[in-house]
Amino acid sequence: MDSLVKKYSMPDKNGHFEEFGGKYVPETLIPALDELEQEYLKCKNDKDFKKEFFNLLKHYGGRPTPLYLAKNISKELGFHVWLKREDLNHTGAHKINNALGQILLAHRMGKKRIIAETGAGQHGVATAAVAAKFGLECIVYMGEEDIERQKLNVFKINLMGAKVIPVTSGSKTLKDATNEAIRDWVTNVENTFYIIGSSVGPHPYPMLVRDFQSVIGTETKKQFKDITNNELPDRLVACVGGGSNALGLFYPFIDDDVKIVGVEAAGKGIDTNQHAATLTKGEFGVLHGAASMLLQSIDGQVALPYSLSAGLDYPGIGPEHSYLQKTKRVEYSSATDNEALEAFKWLSEKEGIIPALETAHAVAYLKNKKNNIKKNEHVILNLSGRGDKDINTIAKELGIEL
């Protein structure tokens, strides 16, 4: 999982990406985080663990996912657009990669009860699936508002035997679901494993989620070379909420001469107060166990983010993204609800691929910035998830009754 890393070596042993990251959690969780870190470091280089993980990715998850040259949009844009088809994974998004990795850890640690938070429901579905497979009890915390906009995923989670607990505090979205999951973990820490869905939270989570997801980038690198005979693509693009699909693609290319772009949700516009563009508009802060950039008020209260896409509707961001922004290794851009909706329709019509609304933000970047991208560039976009779950939201936006 880490064999491709040459120079870049983050986080440090205390889980810091310079000032970002760390473990800002109640004392009760410290022993659990230490235990998790030790187990992970043991497994990371363990042949049997790796074999089991990659077997599951292949036979349960459906890997490798294709790297597909989207010729129609490439022609329209004037550069080569390659889609890394994470939407073709079991459960419909990249989330399954991480859920499989973490449930293997839980299994090894003998934990009988799984908890998770979810926004768009994709991580909830992935966690419910792997918990069912391993025969473990599973509780998914989900904001009331997200339950409303992602009914299909709630239904799927229930079908697989997991329980969805509605969260009614705060903005009733991902941020509050995460608070509730942390409170549950503090209370049930002895028998419970918390499967965090993105590269957020206290150390070691941002690191291990990134590592489990980095199968995306490792595969992509090999596929691109095999197909094109070129060493490297010119540019990578991915949407960023917490940031796990993006890091999964980016990480194996971090030391390479490749331009890397993350796309945040600009909601109704970054000059309004209704967006989720943490890196574009946030300030240094601490939330959910890590120091990172954060959308917040002048008094340090966490701001209520906004995005039409439930998976990007989060006021924080993984600490490694804050670090990659600070060091300018990754460029961060943003796309609005409307731009994402347009891109959603565009990709569906041109390529016959319906992307998740989250992913559509990255697709929108290609259209928005096409003049900044050189002719014949090879651009790889992480098509992180499929759009089935968003059909109701999209129909509503288009004024169509299903």
Partner 1 sequence: MNRIKELFSKDSKKLIVFITAGFPNKDSTKDLVMEAIKGGADMIEIGIPFSDPQADGPVIQAANEIALKNGITLLEIFEQVKEIRSQTDIPIALMGYYNPILKMGTMDFIKKCNDAEIDGVILPDLPLDESVEFCNNLKDKNISPILLVAPNTSKERIKKISNLAGELIYAVSILGITGNDLSSKNNLENYLAKVKENSETPFMVGFGISSNKDVKWFNNFSDGAVVGSAIIKKVLKDRKKGVVENFVKNLKK
Q: How far is the CB of 123 from partner 1 (least distance, A)?
A: 19
- Closest approach of partner 1 to the CB of residue 190, in Å: 7
Nearer of residues 274 and 392 to partner 1, judged by Cβ: 274
Q: Which is nearer to partner 1, 7 or 13 (CB)?
A: 13
Tokens 């995306």 -> residue: 216
Tell me which residue has tokens 């918390």. Answer: 194
Which residue in 400, 2, 402, 16 sits closest to 203, CA to CA? 16
| Catalytic-labelled residue, pool 84, 95, 156, 221 | 95
Clarify whether 86 is annotated catalytic: no
Compare residues 242 and 252 and give the one whose CB is closer to partner 1.
Answer: 242
* DSSP three-state, residue 188: coil
Q: Which two tokens stand for residue 274?
A: 């209704």
95 is catalytic: yes
Provide the minimum distance between the beta carbon of 385 and partner 1 in the complex, in angstroms, as a whole number.
27
Task: For strands 192-194 and 113-118, give the pairing.
Answer: parallel
Q: Please pick, among 214, 322, 334, 384, the residue that the annotation labels catalytic.
A: 384
φ, ψ (nearest 5 deg) of residue 184: -60, -45
Q: Which is nearer to partner 1, 40 or 49 (CB)?
A: 40
Which of 242, 241, 247, 238 lies closest to 214 in space, CA to CA? 247
Number of CB atoms found within 10 A of residue 370's CB: 13
Q: How far is the CB of 49 from partner 1 (least distance, A)?
A: 26
Euclidean distance between the first and final Cα of the chain, in Å? Answer: 44
The nearer residue to partner 1, 28 or 230, going by C-beta atoms, is 28
Please say which residue, 29 or 254, places its beta carbon nearer to partner 1.
Answer: 29
Q: Compute the least distance from the CB of residue 304 to partner 1, in Å.
A: 9
User: How far is it, in rounded angstroms, from Cα 386 to Cα 222?
Assistant: 23
Q: What is the spatial distance between Cα 381 and Cα 367, in angstroms, rounded to a whole number?
A: 12
Residue 145: name the closest of 310, 384, 279, 373 by CA. 310
Based on DSSP, count helices (H) and strands (E) in the chain, helices before strands.
16, 14
> Rounded to the nearest whole angstrom, what is the least distance from the CB of residue 141 to partner 1 in the complex?
13
> How near is the Cβ of 198 to partner 1 at its closest, in Å?
17
Contact residues: partner 1, CB under 8 A: 14, 22-28, 30-32, 169-170, 175-176, 179, 182-183, 186-190, 283-289, 294, 296, 298-302
Q: Toward partner 1, which CB reaches closer, 283 or 388? A: 283
Distances (CA, A) of 96 to 13, 59, 196, 384, 401: 27, 12, 12, 11, 31
Catalytic, out of 37, 86, 117, 145: 117
Nearest distance in Å: CB 222, partner 1: 38
Pairing of strands 20-24, 289-294: antiparallel
User: Catalytic annotation on 231?
Assistant: no
- Residues comprising the chain, all counted: 402
| Strand ranges for 121-272 from DSSP E | 137-143, 163-167, 192-194, 235-239, 259-267
Burial of 7 (C-beta count, 10 Å sphere; 0-12/13-18/19+): exposed
User: Which of 262/289 has CB closer to partner 1?
Assistant: 289
- Minimal CA–CA distance to 1: which of 194, 156, 212, 150? 212
Question: For residue 351, how many C-alpha atoms fall within 13 Å in the half-sphere facing its CB?
Answer: 22
Instruction: Give me the active site residues, please.
Output: 95, 117, 384
